[in-house]
Amino acid sequence: MSIEAAWWDYDVIVVGSGGAGSAAAQAASERGARVLVVSKDPIGCSDTKISEGKVTVRATGEDSDTEQALSDNLRMGGGSIPDKAITQVFARDNRAAYDWYRQRGARPKVDAKRGGPRPVSIAMGGHTKRRTIGHANSGVALSHATWTAVVQTPRVDYMEDAWFLDVVITEATDVGGQRVVGGIVYDASGGRLVVARAPAVVIAAGGLSTLFFPKTDTMRGNTGDAYAVMARAGADLIDMEQLQFLPFCLTSPPSYEGLLCGEPSVASFMGDLLDKNGKVILDCVMLRTRAECAAAIMLAVEDGRGTTNGGAYLDLTKNAQAPLSGDHFKRYLQQVMPSAYRNVRQAMSKAAGQLKEPWEVRPAAHYMMGGLRADPDGGAFAEESRDAIAGLYAAGQAMGGVFGANRLGSTALAECAIFGIRSGHSAAAHALAHNNKVADAAFQPALAAAAKLFGRDGNQSAAVLKVELQDAAWANIGPVRSVQRLDRFEAVCTRIEAALANVGIPAYSSWNQAFIEYIELANMLVCGRAIAAAARERDGSVGGHVRSDGPQISVFAKPYSTVIRRGEDGMFMARRIGREGLPFGRLGAYLVGDFWRKAKLRVLRRLPAPISDRRIRKHYEAVMNKTVGPLEIEPGSLAGAPAESVQG
């Protein structure tokens, strides 16, 4: 059977319709480009929709919140690995990017005194300033804005239920290196392949956390398509070992597995992380990073001290049972993470929901901080002209260099708009300046490769192989890694790649689920290889990358990023590029402050119960914007946040 093929012409193709893709599409149209949006899911149904809807907006809470302060905050939080030029752009474009959401329907609460959006009461998620804006309808408020950007923008067409298979590139004598000429799309609802000719492609297809399913809190469609497409095109990927794991997620029942139930800061003043024997494996939890908490849990599991479901216990009972501050803590928990606390009450026992017993928790894959090695406009970076891929852009999780080793809370939705807009503008400018059509023969190899998969005989199932890969990924390239684990994982990848040749795919073209499973499995394999190659190159622990067989990389060590490129044999070659370290004075001040915060918290926890309880009540009242006396520990210095947002 031969599958139907349609041939379309556009200026810019945008892959993905979430926050980054919708912003890119609207921005490209704004500059006069004809745009095609390719989306697996219905428009607006992305990780943006299931987020807590919190957005970083500089200077909304404090006049002292300068561009330099925000840029430095990103770099400090990211272990000095973020690209300085990119963080400066984030800081500069931040406020205008939030206006993009507001112009399309996002409605924050307004601070009458300051005449702008009202930030949450204290600094969130590792920020040093109050700059996080919330929305009453959480992520739905933002996803409505992204839907509007795609559906109501002129010169933008969109395909739902469509899988972008590969970008097509040719040699480019006019710009050096290679150039984009379009891509191949599987239109599942239409039952056909589409050849989309365009001189620019923006990849904004989200993350890869489905590689670790069910231990993830993200949408099922995050199968790493963005990274696989860019890798097969020959682009450089950066910091692919830096995957953020939320430490406190549900372990059971199966329908709730992986969903968020808390952040380090919800542990509050008296919360501890315990092993199965009730022994403390991490104190001062509220001041720890996501990576620290996730590593502590998984290292305890590896040591045989894990819970029944391979996790640990988050013990909040001391907070809840305190005579004076207990009720404050319960209200605090309900206010700062309502959806996470709701998950607990629905999935766990009644006693757990009432904070009378510890919660069983386990890390879950959340956010990829690596991606395309890009310039501040989202364009594929090239060290030499022969390495250039003109017309290839990325935004959102597909773009690397923004966050490095750690992402601050509420920054993802801001990132989507900032670099979605920049990549859309840049892609349109490139497309309108280089709209040179190529012969249809340039598309035939990719089109033929996709078409011949339909009707292929085989005794293997991609869906079954996908589960095997997911299990291996969690065990070997999950929250804790080692050379032995990487070796085991790569052996599994080799075996599954061999089995791909025997995967059977029916001949019918409309909604061929076997074909979809095959494509997603192939992409997940590329992503797994990429993570493993980058993890092998970075032989110490930093941020979201934890090596059980290597040292913790010192904050005083010269920072570097890992760069990988896929060879013709499908294997990745890795190397390092240096990053500019933080000024010594700023770094020293940060470390001294972090030490002092932990010391004060340990002293507070060791005071007689009536005294500590009374002081803690004052802290809660301050966080909840009630009038109290002066605090001995400023709330903004305690963990920096009431909670990081689920997706934001």
Q: In whole angstroms, what separates CA 340 from the centre of its chain? A: 18
Q: What is the pLDDT of residue 117?
A: 85
Query: What is the reported pLDDT for 642?
Result: 32
Average pLDDT over residues 119-144: 77
Q: Is 110 or 611 the better-scoring residue by pLDDT?
A: 611
Domain membership flag for residue 481: yes
10 Å CB burial of residue 335 (0-12, 13-18, 19+) is middle
Q: What is the mean pLDDT of residues 441-463?
A: 95
Are 253 and 319 within one domain?
Answer: yes
Highest-pLDDT range among 106-110, 245-249, 585-589 = 245-249
**What percentage of the chain carries pLDDT values higher than 90?**
65
Mean pLDDT within 358-382: 95
Question: Same domain for 459 and 521?
Answer: yes
Which of 538, 558, 578 lies at the terminal end of a domain, its last residue?
Answer: 578
Q: Give how far Cα 166 sits from Cα of 200, 230, 232, 243, 436, Å.
A: 13, 8, 8, 24, 20
Give tens-digit pLDDT for 498-513: 999 999 999 999 999 9
The residue among 530, 548, 578 that closes a domain is 578
Residue 128 lies in a domain: no
Work out the pLDDT band at 632, boundaries 50, 70, 90. very low
Mean pLDDT lowest among 294-308, 329-343, 425-439, 501-515: 329-343
120-152 exposure pattern, b = at least 16 Cβ within 10 A, e = fewer: bbbbbbbbbbbbbbbbeebbbbbbbbbbbbbee
Are residues 519 and 556 part of one domain?
A: yes
**pLDDT at 635 (0 to 100):** 32
Domain boundary among 531, 560, 578: 578
- Output the DSSP codes for 131-178: -EE--TTTHHHHHHHHHHHHHSSTTEEEESSEEEEEEEEEE-TTTSSE
Q: Is the peptide bond before 253 cis (omega within 30 degrees of 0)?
A: yes
Residues 556 and 621 in one domain: no
Domain contains 569: yes
pLDDT at residue 190 is higher than 50: yes
Amino acid at the residue 24: A
pLDDT surpasses 70 at 633: no
Which residues lie closer than 8 Å to 602 by C-beta, 6 or more apart? Answer: 283, 284
Residues 459 and 573 both lie in one domain: yes
Could you tell me if 480 and 569 lie in one domain? Answer: yes
The CA dihedral of 399, 402, 407, 408, to the nearest 10 degrees, is -130
What confidence score (pLDDT) does residue 320 get?
93
- In this prediction, residue 170 carries a pLDDT of 93
Please compute the mean of the pLDDT values over residues 339-368 and round it to a whole number. Answer: 93
Is the CB of residue 239 less than 8 Å from the CB of residue 368?
A: no
Q: What is the pLDDT of residues 271-292, one digit of tens each?
A: 999 999 999 999 888 878 777 8
Residues 601 and 568 in one domain: no
Domain membership of residue 542 (yes or no) is yes
In angstroms, the CA 79 to CA 115 distance is: 35
Residue 118 lies in a domain: no
Looking at the domain assignment, is residue 50 inside a domain? no
What is the pLDDT at residue 384?
75
C-beta of residue 616 within 8 angstroms of C-beta of residue 325: yes
Higher pLDDT, 621 or 174: 621
Structure tokens at 442: 């340039």
Give the model confidence (pLDDT) of 544-584 as tens digits. Answer: 898 989 998 988 899 999 999 999 899 999 999 999 887 88
> Average pLDDT, stretch 484-491?
98
DSSP 3-state of 461: coil
Which residues touch 574 (CB under 8 Å, ≥6 apart)?
Answer: 533, 534, 536, 537, 562, 563, 564
pLDDT for residue 634 is more than 60: no
CATH of the domain at 471: 1.20.58.100
Query: What's the pLDDT band for 267 if we cut at 50, 70, 90?
Result: confident
Query: Does the pLDDT value for residue 193 go beyond 90?
Result: yes
Same domain flag for 504 and 601:
no
- Mean pLDDT computed over 99-117: 84
**How many independent structural domains does the chain possess?**
2
Q: How far apart are CA 87 and CA 109, in angstroms?
A: 27
Give me the half-sphere count of Cα atoms (radius 13 Å) on the Cβ side of residue 519: 26
Regarding whether 631 and 535 lie in a shared domain, the answer is no
* Residues 237/230, Cβ–Cβ less than 8 Å: yes
- Computed over every residue of the chain, the mean pLDDT equals 89
Residues 556 and 617 in one domain: no
Percent of the chain exceeding pLDDT 70 equals: 94
**pLDDT number for residue 629:** 33
Q: Which two tokens stand for residue 179?
A: 């150039």
CA dist list (Å): 209 to 243, 244, 368, 565: 9, 10, 8, 21
Higher pLDDT, 169 or 582: 169
483 against 384, higher pLDDT = 483
Residue 72: which of 64, 61, 82, 63 has the closest Cα? 82
Assigned domain for 535 exists? yes
294-299 long-range contacts, CB within 8 A, separation 24+: 294/245, 294/246, 294/247, 294/363, 294/479, 294/546, 295/479, 295/480, 295/541, 295/546, 297/247, 297/273, 297/361, 297/362, 297/363, 297/479, 298/363, 298/478, 298/479, 298/480, 298/546, 299/480, 299/548
Rounded CA gap, 245 and 415, in Å? Answer: 19
CA 254 and chain centroid, separation: 23
* pLDDT beyond 70 at 215: yes
For residue 647, name the pLDDT band (cuts at 50, 70, 90). Answer: very low
pLDDT-based confidence at 122, cuts 50/70/90?
Answer: low
Q: Which residues of 603-633 are buried (b: 16+ CB within 10 A; e: fewer)?
A: ebeeeeeeebbebbbbbbbbbbeeeeeebeb
The H or E element spanning position 363 is strand 359-368
Helices within 303-380 (DSSP H only): 317-321, 326-336, 338-347, 350-353
Residue 190 lies in a domain: no
Same structural domain, 525 and 562: yes
Instruction: Say whether both 462 and 514 belong to one domain.
Output: yes
**What's the mean pLDDT in 164-188?**
89
**Residue 630 confidence (pLDDT) above 50:** no
Domain span holding position 540: 453-578
Rounded CA gap, 262 and 345, in Å? Answer: 12
- Judge contact between 377 and 423, C-beta under 8 A: yes
User: Is the model more confident about 646 or about 46?
Assistant: 46
- What is the model's pLDDT at position 114? 76
